[in-house]
Amino acid sequence: MNVDQIARHWIDLFQKADSDAFALLFAPDGSFIDPAFGLARHGRDLVRLHHRKWLAAVPDFKADIERVLVDGRSAVILYQATGTFNGAPLGAGKNTIHPTHKPFEARVVIVLDLDADGQVKTCTEYYDTVMMPNGGKGPYAEDPRGLQ
């Protein structure tokens, strides 16, 4: 597969309930980074866990690609995310975010950096947790910062 195909396959698997297949897109020491929530999952086992937790929290998650830009072994994916936070809580302990049962819509940018074998070395996910494109508050909590 070329870089564009890998990026599109990444989006396809990200929204499907096959965490094992999703994790195999990553190099053994690959990373999934979510700066908005301060998460960095290193290695396939933690990438698999991250994927499982996300789909358990938002079981109706959908990602519609708007654009894929490729430069060498990197891809930038712009997509529209939709879903409802009505599944399992996210986080743990004092950082637990409980389901709000609110639907959301957000524009998301993913930056994939691939190794020479076409596996994801790093995936960095960017989105706005405070305001969604439709002007509503985020789905994660009543607190506009997304924390409780």
Give a yes or no: residue 88 inside a domain: yes
Which CATH number goes with the domain that contains 35? Answer: 3.10.450.50
Residues 83 and 93: their CA atoms lie apart, in Å, by: 24
Span 101-147, pLDDT tens digits: 888 888 899 999 999 999 999 999 998 765 443 334 555 545 444 44
Handedness of CA 129, 134, 137, 139 (dihedral sign): negative
State yes or no: pLDDT of 148 exceeds 80.
no
Span 5-21, pLDDT tens digits: 999 999 999 999 999 99
Ranked by mean pLDDT, the top range of 37-41, 92-96, 123-127 is 123-127
* pTM flag (> 0.75): yes
Beta bridge partners of 19: none
Residue ranges making up the domain that contains 80: 3-126
Handedness of CA 50, 60, 99, 129 (dihedral sign): positive
Helix residue ranges, H only, the chain: 3-14, 19-24, 44-57
Structure confidence at residue 85 (pLDDT):
87
